[in-house]
Structure 1
Amino acid sequence: MLTGSCLCGTVAYEAEAPLERIVHCHCRTCRKTHGAAFSSVTAVPRASFRWVKGESLLAAIESSPGKFRRFCSKCGSHVMAERTAQPVVLLRLGCLDTPIGERPEVHIWRSDAAPWYDPKRQAPEKPEGL
């Protein structure tokens, strides 16, 4: 079971599905939507996904024809995306509450990536803050 929620906790979902494949998307739209170098996502079957609370507080933007990015209207967290005719929905892993041990399988849309981020380049790590 996968569970997730927004930053303020108003919106929550669950999906009775395993986490099968983590993807980092570097397209311009994902970068703009999340204010980051990329967005981490996984697809789950639409039939296994359901809103647990806050569905009426969701807002959405149609970022490309037929693709809706759903976010909490109170805190702005982007929690999922969907193409309504597709059999899967995309969960935004930054909002996932279920602990996972899996690692990303692929970076996509590297042709559209932020020029200041290269996933092959190692950077120092710090446990907290600057």
Structure 2
Amino acid sequence: MTTVNTLSGSCLCGTVRYTATGEPERFYHCHCSRCRKATGTGHASNLFLQGSLQWNSGEASLKRYTLPEAERFSNTFCGECGSRMPLAIEAAGMVFIPAGSLDEDPAFMPQARIFQGSRASWSCDASDITCFEEYPS
């Protein structure tokens, strides 16, 4: 992936809207227990861009929960409807985007399933893309 993209997204109620611009770095389905708890599903589909994030509306409605014992995990969401929203990781110049918040399909597909060793037995099959037991190096 070496193309600069502009991706737009919003929350379920439409209060929060954003635009992210940058080069896609990673697009993973994460099966870790934290992502399952945060989404209420079998995995989270997370996209990372090397780039920037702009809030077009609703920034004041955002809430953020950071798991105290986690090195990398936090959950940014709309305070009105609870939809997961992006997070700018400014120190790394990265934007974390919950792919379900995108308004249109991105021009690229997930690369891998991560934390496959934590996958719930009822969650989706792993035969479609590369799998890693934990976070890839």
Q: Normalising by the residue count of structure 1, what TM-score does the alignment of the two structures yield?
A: 0.81
Of 84-93 and 31-40, deviating more is 84-93
CA–CA separation in structure 2 for the residues paired with 1:84 and 1:28: 25
Q: Report the alpha carbon displacement of residue 120 of structure 1 after superposing the two structures with TM.
A: 3.4
Of 52-61 and 14-23, deviating more is 14-23
Secondary structure at the counterpart of residue 22 of structure 2: coil
Partner of 1:52: 56
Partner of 2:92: 86
Residue identity matched to 2:63: A
Structure 1, unpaired ranges of 5+: 123-130
In 1, are the aligned partners of 2:52 and 2:95 still within 8 Å (CA)?
A: no
CA–CA separation in structure 2 for the residues paired with 1:5 and 1:81: 13
In 1, are the aligned partners of 2:52 and 2:93 still within 8 Å (CA)?
A: no
In 2, are the aligned partners of 1:23 and 1:108 still within 8 Å (CA)?
A: yes
Q: Report the alpha carbon displacement of residue 17 of structure 1 after superposing the two structures with TM.
A: 2.2
Corresponding pairs, count: 121
Of 101-110 and 51-60, deviating more is 101-110
Secondary structure at the counterpart of residue 126 of structure 2: coil
**After TM superposition, which residue ranges in structure 1, 4 or more long, deviate above 6 angstroms?**
none
RMSD: 2.2
In 2, are the aligned partners of 1:69 and 1:82 still within 8 Å (CA)?
A: no
CA–CA separation in structure 1 for the residues paired with 2:126 and 2:62: 36
| Residue from 100, 113, 118 that aligns with 1:112 | 118
Partner of 1:12: 17
Structure 2, unpaired ranges of 5+: 1-5, 129-137
Q: Percent identity?
A: 34
Q: Report the alpha carbon displacement of residue 98 of structure 1 after superposing the two structures with TM.
A: 2.6
Residue identity matched to 1:114: A
Q: Report the alpha carbon displacement of residue 66 of structure 1 after superposing the two structures with TM.
A: 5.6
Residue identity matched to 2:122: W
Partner of 1:33: 38
CA–CA separation in structure 1 for the residues paired with 2:35 and 2:65: 12
